[in-house]
Structure 1
């Protein structure tokens, strides 16, 4: 396989945009090459087959969703209370919603995983590891609540972003994203 990290990232970003805008059926090497503005055949030099392209694209979506170091460090500044959880969740939801194609590509990958056992196994392992890491970070940083708090936030925030990006009219009368995050946090019963 060819080793040019910049071009590889550009191809994966093109795959993300293709997934988001055309769905999994539209994800072909030719579509990725065209969207990336590279000669036809370039993507096939970087990825062994379509399954490899899907798997590598799923990794790239996670890379693009990762918060900047300052966002991580901010969690540890100030009191660890309900207001801090709300602040962290508002930042997370804003970051996810700010990259609609990345989020929508993630949804497409999850749907595609229902038909591809290897992709399902990879995504399941990655998402489970991420959830476990979030639970551990929450507990180690002495945030109120515990495992259940993180699980409820994970479920609520993911669906909030999904609804916002796919059917924005459903929640629009209820308020903006930040206000909806605050409403979710207000309903939490925090122990500890």
Structure 2
């Protein structure tokens, strides 16, 4: 059994998880070691091992941290609830999501690495499945509660379309220009959103 003295400094833990995300984005899952995280965080060697029981724990918590950092702000949630109930507003919200994720490029790239790693690690797969499912349900619930046009399938189709557009924008940015991306978002909303 591996021994780990659990540390409770939440700011240090967050800094280590942010460093883990950076390492995942730069070096992939194979490059994620406690030593690499310590170096990226600029902390003494051995610090990460005081905060995480093992590498699986670090991978799992890094996935959760991505979602913490990408959570919509109160202003975004207010805009969702109080904004116009039409396609143009939904398209704006979709553009905002894409822009927010592009602004946190390393986080999304780290999430892609975690998803690949989850194909080999059942515990990580279970955690990510639960987290992604909760995110999807959150988006569906907020869309419906806000009274926006469309139904659950509308949100799911937009989720799928936006995710692949984001993958292309972050991994192969030469495939679609920013203008093409905006046009594709508009077209997706126009074709998917009814009502």
TM > 0.5 fold call: yes
Contact 2:82 2:146 in 1 (8 A): no
CA shift at 1:86, angstroms? Answer: 0.7
Does residue 1:186 correspond to 2:187, yes or no?
A: no
C-alpha distance after superposition, 1:49-95 (max 9, x if no partner): 00000011000000011111101101122321101111111111110
How many Å separate the matches in 1 of 2:169 and 2:73? Answer: 23
State the match for 1:135 in structure 2: 140
How many Å separate the matches in 2 of 1:96 and 1:169? Answer: 17
Equivalent residue pairs, number = 190
State the match for 1:33 in structure 2: 38
CA shift at 1:176, angstroms? Answer: 4.5
State the match for 1:19 in structure 2: 24
Matches within 5 A, 1:12-161: 12-161=17-166
DSSP-derived class of the 1:175 partner: helix
Please report the RMSD computed on the Cα atoms of aligned residues, expressed in angstroms: 1.2
CA shift at 1:177, angstroms? Answer: 3.3
Contact 2:149 2:193 in 1 (8 A): no
Contact 1:94 1:177 in 2 (8 A): no
How many Å separate the matches in 2 of 1:100 and 1:9? Answer: 18
- Normalising by structure 2, we get a TM-score of 0.94
Does residue 1:175 correspond to 2:172, yes or no?
A: no
DSSP-derived class of the 2:169 partner: helix
Structure 1's unaligned 5+ residue stretches are none
How many Å separate the matches in 1 of 2:193 and 2:61? Answer: 38
Contact 2:87 2:193 in 1 (8 A): no
Contact 1:93 1:177 in 2 (8 A): no
Structure 2's unaligned 5+ residue stretches are 1-5
- Normalising by structure 1, we get a TM-score of 0.95
CA shift at 1:188, angstroms? Answer: 1.8
CA shift at 1:189, angstroms? Answer: 4.3
